[in-house]
Structure 1
């Protein structure tokens, strides 16, 4: 891996249900090629899953959610960007929805709504910024070190980025395990 020039990959996908597994496959393939450590690839795939799922489930504010292949004329796209520098991996998903992402507090028995919670817990820092059209949601993973630093926002990877608010540790230690098992069953 070159220290001087970052590695960058862009993938544009339709906001159809099969976009999420394609994004995960692409990410794993690219990150293996870039010789990223296996543990970082697994975490990156979880984050890619959550961010691309949000892009598919929440298309531009006035557009209906895509339900499959029957209405291809209503399908829009989003872009997944992976950027690797000497010390970190930046994951960005640009979609057409201008609404900022909302991190929800959900109950233990809820079957959804934990995506941004997982992104904030698994990444070193994350945030979003407006783009035309829509927004970009990003997350950063450190390539080395003891893991999540606990920093949600020190500086922005992009000038206009906005940070999410900091939260405490995961209250349910089995939550991430259940999510990972669920992802593997997809």
Structure 2
């Protein structure tokens, strides 16, 4: 039985602050090309922003500290995959440290990324891929009208 093709998009970026805006632009362009509803595109754009920001800030050790040759130190990767009922967002970086939810006070200007991810995504998590010294943080956005994870 032949499997249906799942549209995917891969992007590797330098782990610099401008990577976040490039990842957002890429996400919007790809999801519009896949003809997804604007609500899905906006939710995915916000999630990509949060996950790539975390990867740039916390996920890329200096090249001399990189844990694996197969993990290019100083880069992050974004993969978008369209499945039957969701967009899967995967952001990889070079550190195996798991993402940690922080309790930010009302005056903090950062520290709410994973709380926002939990609120916007229908599901999210992370894993350590084989033959890669880092981790992948993933989030799903429902493509169904009124589906969980649709930012309201």
Give the TM-score, by structure 1 length.
Answer: 0.69
Structure with higher RCO (Cα < 8 A, 6+ apart): 2
Listed one character per residue, the Cα deviations across residues 50-74 of structure 1 (whole Å, up to 9, x for unaligned) are: 00001111133x528xxxxxxxxxx
Listed one character per residue, the Cα deviations across residues 24-49 of structure 1 (whole Å, up to 9, x for unaligned) are: 00000000000011001000000000
Instruction: Report the Cα distance in structure 2 between the residues aligned to 1:147 and 1:110, rounded to whole angstroms.
Output: 30
Q: Which residue of 1 aligns with 2:30?
A: 30
Instruction: Report the Cα distance in structure 1 between the residues aligned to 2:44 and 2:141, rounded to whole angstroms.
Output: 8
Unaligned segments of structure 1, at least 5 residues: 65-74, 150-175, 178-186
State the Cα distance separating 1:114 from its structure 2 match: 0.4
Unaligned segments of structure 2, at least 5 residues: 64-72
State the Cα distance separating 1:146 from its structure 2 match: 2.0
Instruction: Report the Cα distance in structure 1 between the residues aligned to 2:120 and 2:31, rounded to whole angstroms.
Output: 17
Listed one character per residue, the Cα deviations across residues 150-186 of structure 1 (whole Å, up to 9, x for unaligned) are: xxxxxxxxxxxxxxxxxxxxxxxxxx99xxxxxxxxx
Q: Which residue of 1 aligns with 2:141?
A: 141
Task: Describe how 1:89-128 pairs up with structure 2 within 5 A.
Answer: 89-128=87-126
TM-align CA RMSD: 2.0
Off by >4 Å, runs of 4+ in structure 1: none
- How many residue pairs were aligned? 138
**Contact kept? 1:20, 1:53, Cα under 8 Å:** yes
Give the TM-score, by structure 2 length.
Answer: 0.84
Q: Which residue of 2 aligns with 1:20?
A: 20
